[in-house]
C-alpha cells in the first residue's frame, strides 16, 4: 500500500485489527503482535476484552462499542478518535470483532483516515461467518452438496430496506446471515415467499466460539419458533449443509474442560 506524505510531522499509524469471533485464542499472530506494540486501543463490544491482556501496561484503552437501541459512540466520533490519536504520533489499534472488512465499517474508517492522510494497515481477522458454522460442525461448502456460500447482513442502516433484492438469495447453496437474530421470522418468511423450500435446514448459532455457545436446528418453516430463546450475537446458516451439525458438531460446552486464555501469548507479544 502506497501512503502519500502526510501533513502532520511525526504522525502515527492506525491498524484495523480483526479480533476474531469471540474466543481470544482465535486472534491472528499478527493481530496479537500489533496489540502488544500499540499506544492506544479503540475496541468494540464484540471484541473479547481478554485480548486487552496482550497490550502494554501503559497503553490507553478506549471502549466505543455500539449497543443496539441504546446510546453509543457514533461512527463519526470513532473516526475522530482514530484521526486525533494518530495525529498525536501514536500507534493506534482499532480492534474489531470478526474481520474489519466484513460488516465491520472498516471501509468507512479507512476512507476517513485516507482523507486526513493518516497511514493505516488492515490486519484481517476470522469472521463469524466462517467460525460460527465451523464451531457448530457445519461446512459452508461441500463438493457433493454446496459449491459456494453467500454472506449477507440481516440489519442495515436506518431507512434502508434490509430485504431489498433478496430474491437472488433463494438460490444460494449455503446462506450465512450475520446480525439477523431479531429479523429471523422475517428472514424465513421472505425466503419462503421467494421460493426457498419451507423444509430447508437452518441452524442458528448463539455466542459462537464461547463456552456459552448454543446451536438450534430447524427448518425455514419452524426455526423462528425453535430459536426464540436465543439472543444476539448470533449467526444464521441456511441450506442443506446446516443439517450436518447433527453429525459433525464437535464443540460441546458440557464436554469441554475449562480452558483459560493462552497466557504465553501475553508474554510473547506484550511489551
Q: Whose CA is closest to 35, among 261, 212, 269, 221?
A: 269
Contacts of 182 (CB under 8 A, 6+ apart): 68, 154, 155, 232
- 39 catalytic? Reply is no
From 25, 30, 66, 186, the catalytic residue: 66
In 22-124, DSSP assigns E strands to: 40-43, 60-63, 91-96, 120-123
Grid cell locating 156: 442495515
Q: Clarify whether 44 is annotated catalytic.
A: yes
- Cα dihedral across residues 79, 4, 18, 232: positive or negative: positive
Q: Note if 25 is an active site residue.
A: no
Contact 27, 79 (CB under 8 A): no
Strands 201-206 and 234-238, sheet pairing: antiparallel
DSSP state of 6: P
Distances (CA, A) of 129 to 8, 37, 154, 161, 241: 38, 28, 12, 22, 14
DSSP character for 20? B
Task: Give the count of beta carbons closer than 10 Å to the beta carbon of residue 122.
Answer: 18
- Give the active site residue among 39, 96, 99, 179: 179
Biggest CA-to-CA distance, the chain: 62
- From the list 23, 33, 39, 44, the catalytic residue is 44
Catalytic residues: 44, 66, 179
Amino acid at each position: 500500500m502506497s501512503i502519500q506524505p502526510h501533513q502532520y510531522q511525526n504522525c502515527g499509524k492506525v491498524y484495523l485489527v480483526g479480533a476474531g469471533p469471540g474466543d481470544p485464542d482465535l486472534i491472528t499472530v499478527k493481530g496479537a503482535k500489533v496489540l502488544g506494540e500499540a499506544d492506544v486501543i479503540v475496541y468494540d463490544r464484540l471484541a473479547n476484552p481478554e485480548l486487552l491482556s496482550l497490550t502494554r501496561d501503559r497503553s490507553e484503552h478506549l471502549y466505543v462499542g455500539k449497543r443496539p437501541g441504546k446510546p453509543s459512540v457514533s461512527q463519526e466520533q470513532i473516526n475522530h478518535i482514530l484521526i486525533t490519536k494518530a495525529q498525536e504520533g501514536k500507534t493506534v489499534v482499532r480492534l474489531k470483532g470478526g474481520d474489519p472488512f466484513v460488516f465491520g465499517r472498516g471501509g468507512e474508517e479507512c476512507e476517513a483516515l485516507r482523507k486526513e492522510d493518516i497511514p493505516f494497515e488492515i490486519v484481517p481477522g476470522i469472521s463469524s461467518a466462517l467460525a460460527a458454522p465451523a464451531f457448530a460442525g457445519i461446512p459452508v461448502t461441500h463438493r457433493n452438496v454446496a459449491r459456494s456460500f453467500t454472506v449477507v447482513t440481516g440489519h442495515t442502516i436506518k431507512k434502508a430496506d434490509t430485504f431489498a433484492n433478496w430474491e437472488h438469495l433463494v438460490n444460494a447453496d449455503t446462506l450465512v446471515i450475520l446480525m439477523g437474530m431479531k429479523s429471523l421470522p422475517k428472514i424465513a418468511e421472505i425466503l419462503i415467499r421467494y421460493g426457498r423450500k419451507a423444509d430447508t435446514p437452518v441452524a442458528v448459532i448463539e455466542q459462537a466460539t464461547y463456552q456459552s455457545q448454543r446451536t438450534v436446528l430447524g427448518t425455514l418453516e419452524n426455526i423462528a419458533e425453535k430459536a426464540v430463546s436465543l439472543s444476539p450475537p448470533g449467526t444464521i446458516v441456511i441450506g442443506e449443509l446446516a443439517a450436518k451439525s447433527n453429525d459433525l458438531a464437535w464443540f460441546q460446552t458440557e464436554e469441554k474442560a475449562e480452558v483459560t486464555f493462552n497466557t504465553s501469548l501475553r508474554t510473547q507479544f506484550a511489551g
